[in-house]
Each structure stands twice: as C-alpha cells, then as structure tokens.
Amino acid sequence: MEPSTLALPVLINGVKALASAYDGYEKGRFMKSDQAVREEIRRRADMMRSHIERIMERHHRDGNREQRDECDSTLTSVHGMSEDATMAVTGSPNSIHDGVGKLSRKGRKRIVEHDLKTLNLLVDTTRMLNLILSGDEEAPSMAEIHDRIGRARNHFRERNMYIDGLEKR
C-alpha cells in the first residue's frame, strides 16, 4: 500500500476525534469549539498550500505555463479559504451570533456534522494533491482540485446559517 493510502484512515479518524471533542457548541463553550474548527481549516489550508506550491514549481521547471497558472489560481482560493476561517463571523472575542445559546440539540448536531463534512472535503482534497505529487497517472487535474477547494470553501461559509439557528437557506 502507498503511504497516502495508509494515511487516509488516520486522517479521517483524526477529523472524527476533533469533531467528537467539540464542547457541543453550547452557550459559554461555543467560542472554544468554533476556534478549534477554524484552526483545523487553517492547518489544512496550509498543508494544501505547501503541496500546490511544490506542484507549481514542478510545472514552472517543465515550462508548463498553463498548469502553473492554474496552480497559482488554486493557491489564491486556498488563501481565501484560510482567510475565511481566520475572519469568520465568530473570529472576534465576542460572538455576534445571538442564537447560539438557543440552539436545540439537533441544531448543534447539524453544526458538528456540517463542520465534519467541510473537514472531510479538505482531507479528500489533500489526498488528491498527494496523488499528483506521487505522479499517479489517475491523479485529478489541478482544475478539479481547484473546483473541490471552491466547494469546500462555500460549504464552510454556509455554517453561519446553522450557527444562527436557520434550518434552510
């Protein structure tokens, strides 16, 4: 088995442990849980940034300008996701989510599930980047990775809907 194949279950278990370690987004503990999720997203973004930079350097050396530009565009999206996590609505010391203390157990569970899905999208994207770095013939294109990062970023942005207690958009 390849190292990236062996690492995937470990990464997923780590994400599950992070999600189960939340304080449940309860009043008084919300900021701690929210900060843990946002920090993990920033950590994942940094990991993806490192991988993409290595891929971009490879394309630059090979003179493949089109792929290098796609990597650069993807890096911009990764940076945006990291900024979204840093500057999330709850990124200030005082949460402006009035409905946090009023969330039902079902609402808190939805937030945790939503965050877990976001983190799983990022884990999967990192795995895809590892395929490119390993030279796998079945590796996705950088455009596919860019699309996946965009989906993860949009998914992360939707979490405020749950935090504010909204059931639907």
pLDDT tens-digit series, residues 106-142: 777 788 888 899 999 999 999 999 999 998 989 999 9
The mean pLDDT of 7-18, rounded to a whole number, is 58
Distance of CA 68 to the CA centre of its chain: 23
Confidence of residue 43 (pLDDT cuts 50, 70, 90): very high
Quote the pLDDT of residue 38.
Answer: 86
Among 19-23, 33-37, 60-64, 110-114, the least confident range: 19-23
Distance CA 116, CA 78 (A): 18
Distance CA 15, CA 5 (A): 16
pLDDT tens-digit map of 50-98: 999 999 999 999 999 999 999 999 999 999 999 888 876 655 544 455 5
Does residue 161 register a pLDDT over 50?
yes
Quote the pLDDT of residue 93.
Answer: 43
Name the residue among 8, 19, 17 with its Cα closest to residue 117.
Answer: 19
Quote the pLDDT of residue 140.
Answer: 94
